[in-house]
Structure 1
Amino acid sequence: MTYSYWLGGAVALALIMPAAAQDAPRKIFRGEVASLDGQTLGVKTKDGQTISVTLTPDWRVRVVVPIGVEAIHTGSFIGTAQVPQADGVGRSLEVHVFPPGVKSGEGERDWDSQKGARMTNGTVTGEVTADAKGRELTLTFPGGSRKIVIPPDVPVVQFNPAQHADIKPGVQVFIVAMGDGSSGWKTNNIAIGQNGAAPPM
């Protein structure tokens, strides 16, 4: 796999979205595939609504694959949805590990998976320690850093290439669509879970 597969354009996954695209209007959709008709994807969201997303000509699919937490070490570039605690330490809800050499979306921004959640992408600096509470590390990004605790039961994943044929009714998906709603939504990337699991983002 070449790293160019992960990058380029207004990548739909916010965690690997180029900086210019991150400022564009976007909306996250989580749910299951209701239909796929040419370049039009129907997604049934968790609130029961079915929304329509236009797939760009270069659309791709990635499958979220669990990996061991030991894959995270000093120098790793990772992203994590986390909730800052009273002491400022972020408690992870999920972690995604980028391939070596890939750094995108560095920084911290609001995330919608849980009230008060933030998405933090950065480089692991200093020592990674472990105890009964989980892994503890520091993520550093331009303009700041965040101490992170990864509890033992938190999913740690990476993204692997998948096929268009994997997108079929009933498959659980995670999509970050671009647009403002009035003119429709579009995306060039879809994330799916492995073996029917919902992507944890």
Structure 2
Amino acid sequence: MLKAFSLAVVSLLVSTAGHAQPVEHPIGRAGALVSYSDADVTLRDKEGKDVVVAMTPGWTVVTARKVAPDTIKAGDFVATINTDIGPDAGRATELRLFEPGYRPELGTHAMPQPATSITHGTVTVVRKVDTGLELDVTYPGGARRIEVPASIQPVAYEVHDRPFAQPGMQATAVTRRDADGVWRAGRIMLQP
């Protein structure tokens, strides 16, 4: 009995190695910006309903822009959705380069799509290869090698002062449950 239990524990550890298990997936909110304060942002969704999004202290305003792959360097914090090609490796289907200070998650975990993971971590090595780039991405408790095909166009984020956000602008906020059980966003992304 003890041997069977030990084998089950080892099997579980091997099957989850390299993949941090999140408690919950984030929830995105989108709509036209109505108003904002230090504590929250109000968006009007596509049905015309106002949605109040709780924000973290010091939340920011960003816009996205496409960047050249060679922009990525050691020390950058990235998020990538990637197709699993090994236990600690993936091939990027998208790559986001976050602004300094914004680290919404750390680690690699499975996505709802088969053989697909999302990785959030710090780039430690960038290698140019015939097919594009290879990144070594590290996070507490693990690392993942990410192949970035030349066809992938990375997206980077530019930070703006809050007054840049004007009513009527389209905005997206990604919320995560905090330690107090409140779903909060650390930034809003605008499409001016």
Q: TM-score range by the shorter chain?
A: 0.5 to 0.7
TM-score w.r.t. structure 2 length? Answer: 0.62
What does residue 36 of structure 1 align with? 35
Partner of 1:70, secondary structure, is helix
What does residue 138 of structure 1 align with? 136
Letter in 2 for 1:157: V
Count of residue correspondences = 163
Deviations 1:63-91 (A, max 9, x none): 22322111223x23331222232434312
| 2:191 maps to 1:190 | no
Any conservation in 1 of the 2:83–2:93 contact (CA below 8 Å)?
A: no
What does residue 20 of structure 1 align with? none
- Extract unaligned runs of 5+ from structure 2: 1-21
- Extract unaligned runs of 5+ from structure 1: 1-22, 197-201
Identical residues among aligned pairs (%): 18
TM-score w.r.t. structure 1 length? Answer: 0.59
What does residue 94 of structure 1 align with? 94
Any conservation in 2 of the 1:53–1:184 contact (CA below 8 Å)?
A: no
Shift in Å at residue 154 of structure 1?
A: 2.4
Deviations 1:107-132 (A, max 9, x none): 223557x563313312333x50232x
Distance in 1, Cα, partners of 2:144 & 2:184: 32
Distance in 1, Cα, partners of 2:187 & 2:109: 20
Q: Give the structure with higher Rg (CA).
A: 2
CA 191–71 in structure 1, closer or farther in 2 if over 3 Å, else same? same
Shift in Å at residue 61 of structure 1?
A: 0.8
| 2:79 maps to 1:80 | yes
Distance in 2, Cα, partners of 1:140 & 1:130: 20
